[in-house]
Amino acid sequence: MLKDKINEDFKAAFKEKREGELSVLKNLKAALLNKEKEKQFQAGKAGEDIAQAALADDDIIAVISTEVKKLRDAIALFEQGGRADLVAQNKGEIEVLMRYLPAQLGEDEIKKLVADAVAQAGAATIKDMGKVMGILMPEIKGKADSGLVGKLVKEALSQNF
């Protein structure tokens, strides 16, 4: 299970005093704990057994993807502000988090999936972007940056016309 792997890596980073990695994993564990509590709250609210509300690997991948997106957004802002030190730090944090995500799809692979989804949805205009994204996202969840996917879908839909 992915959560066990994260915990093992956290313990190893702690023992070996790898401060940068340890900091990233602490933040990740906190984000996972928050997500788990949120899930337990929702289960309790719905009258379900909260013990069954443990995070599955898909939930963990979604949390990690969110954390990576936050770091990429921060990198863009730090680049605008000329903060190369913080850009490098955030890139290092992304490298640590990427170890726990599935292999990332290349742009060509994403373009092929986008073309298939556009055809499957029968998309005709940019207004059909939601349909296309609805087909794509379950397939690429955690395997590609959603911002890039959205950009490629827009390009594909605008090229059709």
Give 125's DSSP letter. S
Pull the structure tokens for residue 3: 């959560």
Residue-level pLDDT at 74: 95
The pLDDT confidence band at residue 160, using thresholds 50, 70 and 90, is low
CA dist 140 and 103 (Å) reads 10
How many Cα atoms occupy the beta-carbon half-sphere of 4 within 13 Å? 1
CATH number of the domain at 112, please. Answer: 1.10.10.410
Nearest to 113 by CA among 136, 146, 138: 136
71 and 25 assigned to the same domain: yes
What pLDDT does 143 receive?
A: 86
The answer on 33 and 12 residing in a single domain is: yes
Higher pLDDT, 147 or 35: 35
Task: Out of 6-15, 59-68, 71-80, 119-128, pick the least confident.
Answer: 119-128
> Measuring CA to CA, which residue among 105, 121, 110, 98 is closest to residue 151?
110
Supply the CATH number for residue 76's domain.
Answer: 1.10.1510.10
pLDDT exceeds 70 at position 154: yes
- Residue ending a domain, among 79, 98, 117, is 98
Tell me: do 93 and 111 sit in the same domain: no
- Do 61 and 124 fall into the same domain? no
Q: What is the mean pLDDT of residues 95-124?
A: 90
What percent of the chain is predicted at pLDDT more than 90? 54
Q: In the predicted model, what is the mean pLDDT of residues 15-31?
A: 95
What residues have CB less than 8 Å from 142, skipping those under 6 apart? 58, 61, 62, 64, 65, 101, 102
Q: Which domain holds residue 122?
A: 107-159
33 shares its domain with 89: yes
